[in-house]
Amino acid sequence: MAVLVIAEHDNATLKVATRHAVTAGREMAQEVHLLVAGQGCAAVAEQGARLQGVSKVLLADAAVHAHASAENLAAQVLALAGQYTHLVAAASATGKGFMPRVAALLDAAQVSDVLAVEAPDTFVRPIYAGNALATVQSPDPVKVVTVRTTGFDPAPDGGNASVEAIEAVQGDARVRFVGQEVTLSSRPELAAARVVVSGGRGMGNGGNFALLETLADQLGGAVGASRAAVDAGFMPNDYQVGQTGKIVAPELYIAVGISGAIQHLAGMKDSKVIVAINKDPEAPIFQVADYGLVADLFEAVPQISGSLG
């Protein structure tokens, strides 16, 4: 049996999420191949070749993959699917974009958000917004799996896989890239940060998130937001932490002005240490917090930042 892990990257750097997916793939089969589809992405292929557990890197370097469109990426994966028992990707925005298309075209039932692998055909995944875990078995000849990165350790460097160039495949020619809006930040990527400082509706407005940005910068962390804060227009959608946003499990998660709706808890409750700051002592967030501070965030956060110098 062999597993094909689809790499996530920006044509220059391999995303940390791929390292977690490789670890998951190794638990499904002994042989793991990595697909790198992009344009001018030879450096990414070399980074993938250094991952422990990867025995071969398939490089599809062409203009059709410059922006990792779901249509083209799915077509590339489908062209290779017959050689593998498992197709694996991280349950990120990219993975959630193209993997359902792969599953549908293979007539397979996708197994999503896998947290653990019990056997090559048996997986553990969360249901009911993370309040329960289901053990599911897939009878499909080719298993289409997305993995929650918080469930698997990142694969370290130390490998020496071969890199094989393959022909690029184009999907629907009617689909073309028009443009994108990218949020640029010097802070760590939210899903991979060791420290995350998140704000909720209690922040009042987007301007007040400057308090959290200062604290995050002092701690070398990233800034996140609850869905309520994003829906209110306080922060962009890519800052959202939760069931319908990014799933994070940092070493330290600081929730500021977040009540703790079940959808938000599903995205951060696996954090190693959770600190909650809220003026409502009955807020649900305190039920999962390791440390709770009942206080006005507009007084508490500046004091914490001041103590950090």
Annotated binding residues for FAD: 201, 226-227, 240-244, 257-264, 278
User: What is the rounded CA–CA span in Å between residue 84 and residue 68?
Assistant: 21
- Name every residue whose Cβ is closer than 8 Å to that of residue 237 and which is 6 or more positions away in sequence: 230, 245
Annotated binding residues: 201, 226-227, 240-244, 257-264, 278
User: What is the rounded CA–CA span in Å between residue 127 and residue 132?
Assistant: 5
Closest residue by Cα to residue 219 from 256, 180, 182:
256
User: What is the rounded CA–CA span in Å between residue 116 and residue 122?
Assistant: 9
* Backbone torsions φ then ψ of 249, nearest 5 degrees: -145, 65
Give pLDDT, residue 183.
Answer: 67
Give pLDDT, residue 121.
Answer: 96
- Name every residue whose Cβ is closer than 8 Å to that of residue 87 and which is 6 or more positions away in sequence: 3, 4, 6, 77, 81, 99, 102, 142, 143, 144, 145
Q: Is 109 helix (H, G, I), strand (E, B) or coil?
A: coil
pLDDT tens per residue across all 309 residues of the chain: 799 999 999 999 999 999 999 999 999 999 999 999 999 999 999 999 999 999 999 999 999 999 989 999 999 999 999 999 999 999 998 999 999 999 999 999 999 999 999 999 999 999 887 788 999 999 999 999 999 998 999 999 999 999 999 999 988 888 888 887 766 677 888 888 999 999 999 999 999 999 999 999 999 999 999 999 999 999 999 899 998 889 999 999 999 999 999 889 989 988 999 999 999 999 999 999 999 999 999 999 999 999 987
Count of all residues that appear for the chain in the document = 309
Global confidence as pTM: 0.85
User: What is the rounded CA–CA span in Å between residue 42 and residue 66?
Assistant: 12
User: What is the rounded CA–CA span in Å between residue 163 and residue 46?
Assistant: 7
User: What is the rounded CA–CA span in Å between residue 146 and residue 113?
Assistant: 5
Question: What residue ranges in 108-194 does DSSP mark as E strands?
Answer: 111-114, 116-119, 122-127, 132-137, 143-147, 162-165
Closest residue by Cα to residue 92 from 21, 22, 196, 4:
21
Q: Is 186 helix (H, G, I), strand (E, B) or coil?
A: coil
Q: Both tokens of residue 126? A: 């969360």
- Find out whether 146 and 110 touch, Cβ atoms under 8 Å: yes
**Which one-letter amino acid corresponds to residue 97?**
G
User: What is the rounded CA–CA span in Å between residue 91 and residue 53?
Assistant: 20
Q: Both tokens of residue 168? A: 């690029």
Q: Both tokens of residue 66? A: 């410059």
**Domains along the sequence of the chain with CATH:** 2-165 (3.40.50.620), 195-308 (3.40.50.1220)
